[in-house]
């Protein structure tokens, strides 16, 4: 096959594979048999490509996702499988195939598609930036760097010529030039067979479909009374009988009620229209409209009577509901009877204990509410302590962060030094691996040849077994046809179809049976059995009716008992609800009283502190006033006055200190418990922090040692590969530049001239600016003409 056909067959085989129906081996064998591939090399190629695409499915998916993301406007989704096949061939099989063979497959496809793919995959920036990180998620990093990326980088110089050639073919060259340069002969266009351009016949006019009226078979016939109301006189007779029955009923009512009162007859509608009762009708109409439009204020009714009436109404229960409620009542009665028996046997009642328990619970609830209020007051006092603790914690965190930053800087410096050592070790390891890879290709070639021989032997054995199976099936088919012919010959023989039946005698075939009987005897026995079955059915019916009556009587008794118990429990529930409401009201009052007492106590404390503070301020003002007065009257004894003033101030300060200490002592006693709890919590938190910090340092040192060892290895390999990549890239760029110069020397000369011109202009600008600066510094002025100014500006440009 040609290269293009091989790629198409690989894509078709991959698309047709259904893993939920067939294995990959069976699918490839069926596919190869369907296309009649005669060349074993082509079969091996298709197998290897399909196997590789399935095995490296994740790798291909990553490559194609990056390709469609970066070159989304240049590639089509229809070519997904084409790029997948070339992804496998380029990354995995390029060195096995060789660049010349791979070149044939590339130039057999569309040039634009292949140019986009090869320029994408043979790019060091793409490999290191886009591909490496994603490939390391599914493969080992060393395998990615040493095998995948290194293999592509080694082939960049050879593939650059292919990429440049594809660029030229895709952009500037015509299809004829491409065919001639690649050694392909231009095909001569042959005459295409086309039908004669005959005029088409006009379509025939289709007649309009005529309506088909189908009668509804389920529709009842129209009664005759619709078309003829009287019909046969039946309706008239019915109407006369109805009027007669109405008159007889009125006569009977008249006899029962007595004589009728005489009432004035109202006028007919005709007389009303004439205007006799027009005013009366108008007034009646106005009253009716007023009644309809009258505003009725909202008067919500109490729903209690309606609910009470609804509760009094009996609810009809079915059998299942009655039995369930009766079982529930019996269960409760048994529990109550068990309690009574227990009391009789033990002579002890638990009601006093339960009452004591309820009282203790109420007392505990009151204490709990008082404790809640007390803690709320204490929380106001401990708020400031919590603020100070938070500020101190922030300072400790800032200091700890500064220490960690300094330690991280030292670790980074050590890490950088160790990476350089790892780089040298990895370079040596890469050289050893390359030496070991040289012996892989001969071994793989031997394995492929051995597998080809085994495949040929297996196909020969399969062909032989199929021939034997066909011969065996032919013999079996001949035997079956012989049996069928014998059966048909037997069926063609005539048969005796005469039959003689005697109902009074038993059949000859059943005489050896003990219970054999004639048809007449069977009919008699059947009649007897039917009579017995009817008698049993009648007796069973009587039993069912009697049991049903007994069950209904039992249900009626249970319903009556349920009704009585419901009335009793309804009264108990009302009483219990009333007691519960009273209890809730008492609890609400107690809570409100405790709350008020706590508020009053808090307000009293606040007022007491305010009063003490105001008294101290007033005393201090009074003392200062007295001191000022004494200063005025005792100006001569300033020293004595000063001493006395100092003593009074000292005494006032002592009094103030004494009062403050007493007040602080009381407050300290109240806040002591909260402070102790706060100190315990802080110690516990600090201890956990210290433990977490020690654990973090220990784990950090262990991870750091492991990461440093791994990083040393990785850094050595990556540094060697980068140096090699840089050298290869520089060689490639210099070679590419030389090729461009050889290909288009005029363009190169233009670029050189533009660069030299730009440099000369730049030097002129710098010279002019330097001369202007020197003139400004010396302070000298020089008159320039317009011609000189224009010349200078042109030179600068």
The answer to whether residue 156 is domain-embedded is: yes
The domain boundary residue, chosen from 181, 205, 227: 181
The answer to whether residue 20 is domain-embedded is: yes
pLDDT at 529 (0 to 100): 92
Give the separation between CA 663 and CA 200, rounded to whole angstroms. 119
pLDDT digits (tens, 9 = 90+) for 251-303: 776 665 444 444 444 444 444 444 555 566 677 777 777 666 655 554 555 55
Give the separation between CA 2 and CA 108, rounded to whole angstroms. 9
pLDDT at 310 (0 to 100): 52
Q: How would you class 429 by CB atoms within 10 Å of its CB: exposed for 0-12, middle for 13-18, buried for 19 or more? A: middle
- SS3 of 216, please? coil
pLDDT digits (tens, 9 = 90+) for 199-246: 777 777 666 776 666 666 666 777 666 666 555 566 677 788 888 888
pLDDT, average across residues 185-196? 71
Domain count, the chain: 3
- SS3 of 797, please? coil
- The larger pLDDT score, comparing residue 89 to residue 644, is at 89
- The larger pLDDT score, comparing residue 63 to residue 212, is at 63
The average confidence (pLDDT) of the chain is 77
The answer to whether residue 34 is domain-embedded is: yes
The answer to whether residue 369 is domain-embedded is: no
pLDDT digits (tens, 9 = 90+) for 477-528: 888 888 888 887 777 766 656 666 777 777 777 767 777 788 888 888 899 9
Length of the chain measured in residues: 797
Give the separation between CA 145 and CA 132, rounded to whole angstroms. 8
The domain boundary residue, chosen from 163, 181, 199: 181
Q: Is 11 in contact with 82 (CB distance < 8 Å)?
A: yes
Closest CA to 117 of 161, 74, 148: 74
**CA-CA distances (angstroms) from residue 69 to 58, 112, 137, 415?**
17, 17, 19, 36
The answer to whether residue 46 is domain-embedded is: yes
Q: Is the pLDDT of residue 354 over 90?
A: no
Give the separation between CA 763 and CA 772, rounded to whole angstroms. 14
State the pLDDT confidence band at 313, using cuts at 50, 70 and 90. Answer: low
The answer to whether residue 639 is domain-embedded is: no
Give the separation between CA 506 and CA 510, rounded to whole angstroms. 7
Percentage of the residues of the chain whose pLDDT score is greater than 90: 3
Residue 302 backbone zone (phi > 0: left; psi -120 to 50: alpha; other: beta): beta
The domain boundary residue, chosen from 465, 486, 507: 486
Percentage of the residues of the chain whose pLDDT score is greater than 70: 76
Output the six-digit token pair for 416: 């950088």
User: What is the domain range of residue 475?
Assistant: 444-486
Give the separation between CA 404 and CA 412, rounded to whole angstroms. 12
The answer to whether residue 779 is domain-embedded is: yes
The answer to whether residue 116 is domain-embedded is: yes
pLDDT at 532 (0 to 100): 93
Q: Is the pLDDT of residue 534 over 90?
A: yes
């Amino acid at each position: 096959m040609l290269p293009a056909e091989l790629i198409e067959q690989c894509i078709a085989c991959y698309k047709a594979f259904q893993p939920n129906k067939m294995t990959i081996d069976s699918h490839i064998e069926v596919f190869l048999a369907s296309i009649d591939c005669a060349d074993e090399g082509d079969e091996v190629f298709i197998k290897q490509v399909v196997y590789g695409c399935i095995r490296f499915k994740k790798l291909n998916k990553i490559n194609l996702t990056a390709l469609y993301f970066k070159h989304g406007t240049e590639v089509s989704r229809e070519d997904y499988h084409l790029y997948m096949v070339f992804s496998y061939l380029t990354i995995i099989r390029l060195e096995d195939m060789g660049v010349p063979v791979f070149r044939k497959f590339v130039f057999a496809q569309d040039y634009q598609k292949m140019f986009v793919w090869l320029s994408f995959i043979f790019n060091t920036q793409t490999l290191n930036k886009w591909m490496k990180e994603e490939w390391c998620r599914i493969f080992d990093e060393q395998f990615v760097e040493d095998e995948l990326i290194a293999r592509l980088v080694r082939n960049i110089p050879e593939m650059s010529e292919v990429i440049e050639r594809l660029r030229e073919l895709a952009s500037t060259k015509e299809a004829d030039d491409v065919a001639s340069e690649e050694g392909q002969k231009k095909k001569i266009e042959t005459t295409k067979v086309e039908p004669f351009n005959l005029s088409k016949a006009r379509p025939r006019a289709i007649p309009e479909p005529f309506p088909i009226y189908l009668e509804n078979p389920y529709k009842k016939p129209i009664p005759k009374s619709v078309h003829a109301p009287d019909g046969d006189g039946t309706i008239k007779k019915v109407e006369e009988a109805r009027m007669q029955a109405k008159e007889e009923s009125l006569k009977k009512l008249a006899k029962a009620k007595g004589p009728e009162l005489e009432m004035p007859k109202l006028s007919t509608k005709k007389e009303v229209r004439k205007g006799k009762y027009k005013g009366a009708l108008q007034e009646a109409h106005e009253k009716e409209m007023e009644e309809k439009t009258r505003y009725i204020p909202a008067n919500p009714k109490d729903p209690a009577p309606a609910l009470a009436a609804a509760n009094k109404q009996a609810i009809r229960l079915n059998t299942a509901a009655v039995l369930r409620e009766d079982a529930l009542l019996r269960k409760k009665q048994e529990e109550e009877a068990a309690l009574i028996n227990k009391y009789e046997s033990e002579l002890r009642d638990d009601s006093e204990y339960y009452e004591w328990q309820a009282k203790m619970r109420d007392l505990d609830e009151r204490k709990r509410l008082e404790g809640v209020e007390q803690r709320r007051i204490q929380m106001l006092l401990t708020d400031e302590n919590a603020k100070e603790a938070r500020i101190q914690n922030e300072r400790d965190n800032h200091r700890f962060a500064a220490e960690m930053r300094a330690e991280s800087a030292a670790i980074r410096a050590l890490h950088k030094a160790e990476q350089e050592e790892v780089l040298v070790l990895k370079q040596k390891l890469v050289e050893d691996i390359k030496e070991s890879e040289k012996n892989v290709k001969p071994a793989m070639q031997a394995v492929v040849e051995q597998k080809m021989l085994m495949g040929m032997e297996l196909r020969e054995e399969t062909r032989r077994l199929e021939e034997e199976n066909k011969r065996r099936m032919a013999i079996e088919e001949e035997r079956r046809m012989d049996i069928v012919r014998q059966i048909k010959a037997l069926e063609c023989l005539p048969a005796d179809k005469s039959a003689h039946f005697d109902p009074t005698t038993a059949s000859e075939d059943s005489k050896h049976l003990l219970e054999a009987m004639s048809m007449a005897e069977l009919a008699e026995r059947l009649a007897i059995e039917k009579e017995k079955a009817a008698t049993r059915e009648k007796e069973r019916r009587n039993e069912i009716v009697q049991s049903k009556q007994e069950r209904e009587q039992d249900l009626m008794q249970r319903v009556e008992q349920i009704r009585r118990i419901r009335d009793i429990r309804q009264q108990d529930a009302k009483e219990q609800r009333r007691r519960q409401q009273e209890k809730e009201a008492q609890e609400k009052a107690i809570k409100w009283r405790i709350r008020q007492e706590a508020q009053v106590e808090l307000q009293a404390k606040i007022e007491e502190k305010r009063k003490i503070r105001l008294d101290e301020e007033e005393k201090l003002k009074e003392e200062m006033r007295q001191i000022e007065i004494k200063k005025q009257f005792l100006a001569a004894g300033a020293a004595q006055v000063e001493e006395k003033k100092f003593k009074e101030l000292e005494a006032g300060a002592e009094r103030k200190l004494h009062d403050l200490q007493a007040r602080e002592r009381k407050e300290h006693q109240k806040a002591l418990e909260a402070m102790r709890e706060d100190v315990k919590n802080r110690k516990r938190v600090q201890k956990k922090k210290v433990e977490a910090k020690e654990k973090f340092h220990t784990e950090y040192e262990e991870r750091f040692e492991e990461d440093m060892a791994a990083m040393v290895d990785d850094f050595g390999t990556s540094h060697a590969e980068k140096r090699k990549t840089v050298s290869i890239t520089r060689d490639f760029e210099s070679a590419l530049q030389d090729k461009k110069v050889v290909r288009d020397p005029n363009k190169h000369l233009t670029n050189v001239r533009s660069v030299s011109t730009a440099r000369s202009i730049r030097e002129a600008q710098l010279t002019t600016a330097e001369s202007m600066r020197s003139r400004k510094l010396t302070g000298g002025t020089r008159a320039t003409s317009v011609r000189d100014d224009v010349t200078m500006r042109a030179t600068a440009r």
